[in-house]
Structure 1
Amino acid sequence: MKTLYLVRHAKSSWDDTALDDFDRPLNDRGKKDAPLMGYILHQQHILPDLLLSSPAKRAHSTAKKIAKAVGYAKKDIQTNKNIYHAGPGQLLEIIQSLHSVEHSVMLVGHNPGLTDLSNLLCRKHIDNIPTCGVVCIEFDIEKWNQVMPESGRFIFFDYPKKHT
């Protein structure tokens, strides 16, 4: 059994128009939403074996805030530059390349790739994963390279506005 948590980065700031998209930080709402979602995941006893993030500032900041809340060591967060701007096919390849020893993986990234990936992996259609939204999908497999389209079972979909 493998469990995948798809996490869209928290709300980011557009205040500094000179900043490259990659370097945009979280805004005030994002700085509140990421720990909130981390707390909610912690309350459900969710602690991933691997936390994998886009290296973009807003995604990595989200990953660090969630890691702190769930008890995952921030120094163990791995980044993969291919997550940034990845489509569902590229994200699927990243997942399929994961080590089998990791049973639960949290992937922090961006839309539209994450929403498209969620819809590719399970039969539950989601229109949009909002900022800091989390989709949990389980797979009855032993190795990540066995993840295929529609092979996942939708477990839950949560996001900050459900709790405010």
Structure 2
Amino acid sequence: MKTLLLARHAKSDWGDASLADHDRPLNDRGRRDAPLMARRLLDEGIHLARIVSSTAVRARTTAAEYAAAQGVEVVQEPLLYAASARSILAAASRLPDEAEVAMLVGHNPGMQDAVAELTGAFVEFPTCAVAECLVDVDSWAELIEGSGRLVQLRTPAGRSAR
């Protein structure tokens, strides 16, 4: 059994129209929410062995907050930028097996769709939300559609769905 956390980046800043989408930073709310969510996971006993992030600035910055709280490094994965659910689950299937608990940080609608494909649960996925999914596999390579169960969806507003 493995635990996969699928995380959407924190709220981004749309204030500079000259920036490419990939280069948008977090806004004030995002800079506030990301460390709070990172601390919340740690306080709830979630210990990440691996964090993989989209290369977009807003995702990398969000992932860096989780990494700082957890004391792990972030691995950047270009395929997570604007990824489909299938691409996200393919990235998860390439995680190292020694990582029992791992997080992917990316974007919507891909993250929301990945939760649905993996667990069959359809959830609203606001910015900085984290879906905790138990995956009934011994190796990440065995991960397939429907092999997971949504344990909890955490949001910065404190709402949780089970």
TM-score (norm 1): 0.93
1:94 corresponds to which of 87, 91, 94:
91
Deviations along 1:26-71, one digit per CA (max 9) or x if unpaired, are: 00000000011011101112121101001100000001112222x2
Post-superposition offset of 1:124:
2.0
Q: Which residue of 1 aligns with 2:19?
A: 19
Post-superposition offset of 1:72:
2.1
Give the aligned residue type for 1:72: G
Q: Which residue of 2 aligns with 1:146?
A: 142
SS in 2 for 1:160: coil
Give the aligned residue type for 2:23: D
CA distance in 2, matches of 1:122, 1:150: 5
CA distance in 1, matches of 2:137, 2:11: 33
Post-superposition offset of 1:96:
1.2
CA distance in 1, matches of 2:146, 2:135: 10
CA distance in 2, matches of 1:72, 1:115: 27
Deviations along 1:104-163, one digit per CA (max 9) or x if unpaired, are: 11100000000000000002221x210000000011211011111111011100101126
CA distance in 2, matches of 1:68, 1:95: 21
Contact 1:9 1:108 in 2 (8 A): yes
Q: What is the percent sequence identity of the aligned residues?
A: 39
Counterpart check, 1:6 vs 2:6: yes
1:80 corresponds to which of 77, 80, 93:
77
Q: Which residue of 2 aligns with 1:134?
A: 130
Cα RMSD (Å): 1.1
Q: Which residue of 1 aligns with 2:34?
A: 34
Post-superposition offset of 1:23:
0.4
Give the aligned residue type for 2:89: L
Post-superposition offset of 1:2:
0.6
1:118 corresponds to which of 115, 124, 129:
115
Segments ≥4 residues shifted beyond 3 Å: none
Give the aligned residue type for 2:21: D
**Which consecutive unaligned segments of at least 5 residues does structure 1 have?**
none
CA distance in 1, matches of 2:89, 2:128: 20
